[in-house]
Amino acid sequence: MKARVTVTLKSGVLDPQGKAIEGALKSLGVDGIASVRQGKVFDVEVPGSDRSAAEAILREAAERLLANTVIEDYRVEIVG
């Protein structure tokens, strides 16, 4: 089973990398971008077909390693 864990900074947490990307886009002449926040995406393959078990495993992985839950939020999606 394929899954995706998306990790993003919590709202209110400063994102200097996102600001740098935003500035670079403006300097390249890309208009229409109000703001940029960066994050991480993990594509994970989990054996088996039990969706709820896979989601539980991925939530544990996110809580323990993939996300710093003090400053980051995460979302788990089963994609196939």
Q: How many helices (H) and strands (E) does the chain have?
A: 2, 3
Kindly report, residue by residue over 23-33, the tens digit of the pLDDT. 999 999 999 99
Kindly report, residue by residue over 54-80, the tens digit of the pLDDT. 999 999 999 999 999 999 999 999 997
Pairing verdict, β 72-78 and 2-9? antiparallel
Q: Which helix (H) or strand (E) holds 73?
A: strand 72-78
What does each C-alpha distance from 16 to 4, 10, 22, 41, 59 come to in angstroms? 25, 13, 10, 18, 27
Structural domain span for residue 26: 2-78
Q: What is the domain-level CATH number for residue 57?
A: 3.30.1280.10
Q: How many domains does the chain divide into?
A: 1
Kindly indicate the confidence band of residue 2, based on its pLDDT and cuts at 50, 70 and 90.
Answer: very high
Q: Are 73 and 5 in contact (CB under 8 A)?
A: no
